[in-house]
Amino acid sequence: MSNKSRLSVSVVVLSLVCTTVAFAEIPQAVGFWRFEGNAVDSGTGGNNGTLVGSAAIVSDIVRGRCLNLDGEGYVDIRASVTELGADDFTIAAWVKTTERGVPILSKCNGDEEWEENEKELYIAAAELSEYDNDGTVEYVGNSCDWIRGSARANDGRWHHIAVTWNADEEEGNVYLDGVKGTDAAGFDGGEDNEDDVVRIGFSAGGHTESSFVGRLDDVAIFDVALSAGQITEQMRFTSLVARRAGAAPAARRDKVVTLDTDPALLGWWKFDEASGKTAAGSSKHGRKGALKGGLSFDQASAPGRTGKALKFDGREGYVEITNYKGVAGTKPRTVAAWIKTADDRGRIISWGADDFGQMWNLAFIRGRVGVSPNGGYLYMNEGVDDDEWHHVAAAVREAELPNLHDDVILYLDGELAEIHDIGLLDLWPIQTGSDINVTVGRGFKGLIDDVRIYGRDLSDDEVKALFKLQSNRPLPKPRP
């Protein structure tokens, strides 16, 4: 018996040592709502949420897009997601509020009555609690007792909050901005009621008085109790710099060396050839381009931004990528190219199907560079027809049904492009078809170089690295 307990103690000690020494890899969230234009679940559960009442996705100067709640709305997840009492779990979120007695997340049957084993994660108000804690983060289940944090989180600034529960060890913790600050944990792990569902910002009627008032972002649920190191990593990856890095930044950071070797680089054409009518594909997929309409490198090769470039005539000449239909449907993507032109018309990169919403064009629209799904458009303010090299890029973020207004970003010379004051007409969602091969330079007069298609939305820093010709360098790690 004493041998056995010694053994288990040493296992615990060993695992603690490993956690501290090894890189704190974050397990995948079972629910992960990033609020990038909608309430899609980027976790493994696929439980997309619904905005209810006055709940809205808004732009926030610190967080980008996030959830805004005014006490009369919430996000309905309509699913159990995972056990939030009898088994291990972690709930993490970015929270901004000046309120007290407001819920961050609840699991209940949806009425206002606070029933046995219903759960609430919330900002405490002393008069609604059995303790004097105020403005702190607490997790409670009816008849299950508390896990209570020690530091105030309602100062009107963004904070990363997390609550963890390890059922076997009966250990619960609250973290604020990655720092463990658990005031008390008497939580006893009462099992969730069978039909109870998760809602974000919804009051289960326990220790809160209304729906949440303030902003929430990157709400994540894990079916494990994250370690302190993992909480710090999770905070890092969901902080501003990592915000747009996609759904699995941890995995990506480990594997991807540079933007040139990124597995999401689906097509890359350098146009460095000096002769012939074939443009080599430099991504791992190959994907050669065929020069059409009388175009050949023999006449049209020119000094480029990197190596050589291809000179398009603005008439018949273009490049068609053989048997490659580009990124289809609603999938995220980034297209990028260097261009040099004294003209202000033509297409830079296109593919899709000849129907509304089903083309994907990076092109001149009313004399400015922008994107159009065929029906609607988004174009930048600044003209680029000054016969100088400019780097242009457009990204579509992950979204259930991406639209130009919420989910598309334009870049000019490595910076977010200012959008023309009449440059947005949002008629059709982006649902790119797969009929037409990718083409480059149709109707474009001037030089095009280093055309890239990524199957993900690059971060601002990554687009900047393309502009700075640093695509062969390791990416800077996101800072907390």
Site for Ca ion in 267-286 (CB under 5 A): 270-272
Query: Smallest distance from the beta carbon of 78 to Ca ion, in angstroms?
Result: 15
Q: Which range of residues in 8-16, 144-152, 395-403, 441-449 is near Ca ion by CB under 5 A?
A: 441-449
Burial class (CB in 10 A: 0-12, 13-18, 19+), 8: exposed
**CA atoms of 418 and 415, how far apart (whole Å):** 9
Count CB neighbours of 1 within 10 A: 5
For residue 287, give Cα distances in angstroms to 219, 297, 324, 436, 443: 39, 17, 7, 15, 22
Site for Ca ion in 22-41 (CB under 5 A): 34-35
Confirm or reject binding of residue 217 to Ca ion (CB under 5 A). yes
Query: Smallest distance from the beta carbon of 375 to Ca ion, in angstroms?
Result: 27
Confirm or reject binding of residue 199 to Ca ion (CB under 5 A). no
Confirm or reject binding of residue 449 to Ca ion (CB under 5 A). yes
Query: Smallest distance from the beta carbon of 218 to Ca ion, in angstroms?
Result: 6
Q: Which is nearer to Ca ion, 57 or 359 (CB)?
A: 57
Which single residue is written with the structure tokens 């699913």? Answer: 79
Of 239, 200, 236, the residue nearest 122 (C-alpha): 200
Contact in structure between 445 and 343 (CB atoms under 8 Å): yes
Query: Smallest distance from the beta carbon of 387 to Ca ion, in angstroms?
Result: 18
Kindly report each contact of residues 58-62 with a partner whose C-beta sits within 8 Å and lies 24 or more positions away, as own/partner: 58/215, 60/96, 60/215, 60/217, 62/158, 62/240
Q: Which is nearer to Ca ion, 108 or 221 (CB)?
A: 108
Contact in structure between 268 and 261 (CB atoms under 8 Å): no
Q: Which is nearer to Ca ion, 189 or 304 (CB)?
A: 304
Q: Which range of residues in 70-78, 127-135, 400-408, 445-453 is near Ca ion by CB under 5 A?
A: 445-453
Confirm or reject binding of residue 378 to Ca ion (CB under 5 A). no
Q: Which range of residues in 37-45, 266-274, 276-284, 422-430 is near Ca ion by CB under 5 A?
A: 266-274
Query: Smallest distance from the beta carbon of 306 to Ca ion, in angstroms?
Result: 5
**Would you state the torsion angle of the CA atoms of residues 302, 305, 306, 308, taken in this order, to the nearest 10 degrees?**
-10
Residue type, 22: A
Q: Which range of residues in 211-219, 223-231, 341-349, 471-479 is near Ca ion by CB under 5 A?
A: 211-219
Count of residues touching Ca ion (by CB under 5 A): 17
Query: Smallest distance from the beta carbon of 445 to Ca ion, in angstroms?
Result: 18
Q: Which is nearer to Ca ion, 115 or 426 (CB)?
A: 115
Q: Which is nearer to Ca ion, 66 or 438 (CB)?
A: 66
Q: Which is nearer to Ca ion, 98 or 109 (CB)?
A: 109
Q: Which is nearer to Ca ion, 132 or 195 (CB)?
A: 195
Contact in structure between 24 and 233 (CB atoms under 8 Å): yes
Confirm or reject binding of residue 311 to Ca ion (CB under 5 A). no
Q: Which range of residues in 122-130, 163-171, 215-223, 253-261 is near Ca ion by CB under 5 A?
A: 215-223
Query: Smallest distance from the beta carbon of 210 to Ca ion, in angstroms?
Result: 15
Q: Which is nearer to Ca ion, 101 or 370 (CB)?
A: 101
Secondary structure class of 282 (helix, strand, coil): coil
Strand partners, 404: none
Q: Which is nearer to Ca ion, 303 or 329 (CB)?
A: 303
Secondary structure class of 14 (helix, strand, coil): helix
Q: Which is nearer to Ca ion, 96 or 270 (CB)?
A: 270
Confirm or reject binding of residue 306 to Ca ion (CB under 5 A). yes
Q: Interface mask (CB under 5 A) for Ca ion, residues 140-179, using x and -?
A: ----------------------------------------
Helices (H), 201-314: 228-237, 249-255, 297-300
Of 464, 371, 350, the residue nearest 420 (C-alpha): 371
Confirm or reject binding of residue 307 to Ca ion (CB under 5 A). yes
Query: Smallest distance from the beta carbon of 178 to Ca ion, in angstroms?
Result: 18
Query: Smallest distance from the beta carbon of 305 to Ca ion, in angstroms?
Result: 7
Q: Which range of residues in 85-93, 213-221, 282-290, 416-424 is near Ca ion by CB under 5 A?
A: 213-221
Kindly report each contact of residues 123-132 with a partner whose C-beta sits within 8 Å and lies 24 or more positions away, as own/partner: 123/95, 123/97, 123/99, 123/153, 123/154, 124/100, 124/148, 124/207, 125/100, 125/101, 125/207, 125/208, 125/209, 126/100, 127/101, 128/101, 128/207, 128/208, 128/209, 129/207, 131/184
**CA atoms of 325 and 437, how far apart (whole Å):** 4
3-state SS track over 41-81? ECCCCCCCCEEEECCEEEEECCCEEEEEEECCEEEECCCCC
Q: Which is nearer to Ca ion, 271 or 351 (CB)?
A: 271
First to last CA, the chain: 45
Q: Which is nearer to Ca ion, 217 or 262 (CB)?
A: 217
Site for Ca ion in 66-125 (CB under 5 A): 66, 108-109, 111, 113, 115
Query: Smallest distance from the beta carbon of 114 to Ca ion, in angstroms?
Result: 6
Compute φ and ψ for 466, nearest 5 degrees.
Answer: -60, -45
DSSP state of 418: P
Positions in the binding site for Ca ion (CB under 5 A): 34-35, 65-66, 108-109, 111, 113, 115, 217, 270-272, 304, 306-307, 449
